[in-house]
Amino acid sequence: MHDNKRPVVFFDGGCPVCRREIGFYQRLDRRHAIDWRDIAAEPELLDGSGVDWRTAMRRFHARDADGRMRQGVDAFAMVWEYLPYWHWLARLVRGLRLVGPLERLYGWYADRRFRRRCQTSRCSADDGNADN
């Protein structure tokens, strides 16, 4: 079930690191506050999001409860706001204005992850999906 009033997280379920991290967050989300969407398994879950599949696979994307699309560290901080014990990290990152500096580090990691993922599996904009 997809509830438009909940934040939505778009993640690469075909990436072992991503799957582990999102699985950790999902276990913490006992209230089911977030709609988790595996776009590697079901790329059509991006329909209507305004983000194409390849862009979503390159960087972490989430749509907040107000419908605004977020990406990278900003998207992670939005997720943390909904998780027990992690909301303090979101406050810290936002309060100390660390989103920008952390974004540079995340950008380096995300680009590296995407290149490695696409070298080890089929990852083509023409496919619209990655084979796992």
Chain centre to alpha carbon of residue 29: 15
Residue 53 located in a structural domain: yes
What span, in angstroms and rounded, lies between the C-alpha atoms of 95 and 89? Answer: 10
pLDDT of residue 59: 95
Residue 125 located in a structural domain: no
Residue 127 located in a structural domain: no
For residue 34, which of 87, 104, 93, 100 has the smallest C-alpha distance? 87
Split at pLDDT 50, 70, 90, the class of 116 is confident
62 is in which domain, residue-wise?
A: 8-120
Question: What is the number of structural domains in the chain?
Answer: 1
Q: Whole-prediction pTM value?
A: 0.84
pLDDT of residue 108: 94
CA separation, residue 52 to residues 30, 32, 75, 105, 123 (Å):
29, 26, 17, 23, 14
Average model confidence (pLDDT) across the chain: 88
Instruction: Point out which residues pair with 61 in neighbouring strands.
Output: 10, 71
Residue 47 located in a structural domain: yes
Residue 114 located in a structural domain: yes
Residue 126 located in a structural domain: no
What's the mean pLDDT in 30-34? 97
Contact indicator for 113, 17 with CB cutoff of 8 Å: yes
